[in-house]
Amino acid sequence: MAEEQRDPNTIYVGKKPVMNYVLACLTQVQNGNGAVTVKARGMAISRAVDVAQIITKRFATDITVKRISINTEQVKSMVTGGMSNVSSIEIVLQK
């Protein structure tokens, strides 16, 4: 997702193992302003929810889900070159 702005407070969830993102989020909450935004698109949405749940239920019960929003983004298809819609999720975690 190189076209998106790289906010250090935002973790983009993709195809890596879930624990990579969990660690990245925990590090960000500790070093940053106590909040982190988890974003994902398409099939990675399930993984983003996993990340949020693992953090709030297992590792850091003092961190809570503050806000969840869903949206639709337009992405250029790698195959056809046309535009297609893809769902996205944004989960804000806060200490």
Please report which residue ranges of the chain form alpha helices under DSSP H.
18-31, 45-54
Find the binder of its own copies among 57, 62, 64, 84 (CB under 8 A): 57
Asked if residues 95 and 67 have their Cβ atoms less than 8 Å apart, the reply is: no
Residue 42: which region, alpha, beta or left (left: phi > 0; alpha: psi -120 to 50)?
Answer: left
Piece of 9-17, 23-31, 61-69, 74-82 that binds its own copies (CB under 8 A):
61-69
Residue 75 touching its own copies (CB under 8 A): no
Q: Which two tokens stand for residue 72?
A: 């639709």
Q: Is residue 38 close enough to count as binding its own copies by CB under 8 A?
A: no
If one asks whether residue 94 binds its own copies (CB under 8 A), the answer comes out as no
Contact positions vs its own copies (CB under 8 A)? 42-46, 49-50, 52-53, 57, 65, 68-72, 85, 87-89, 91
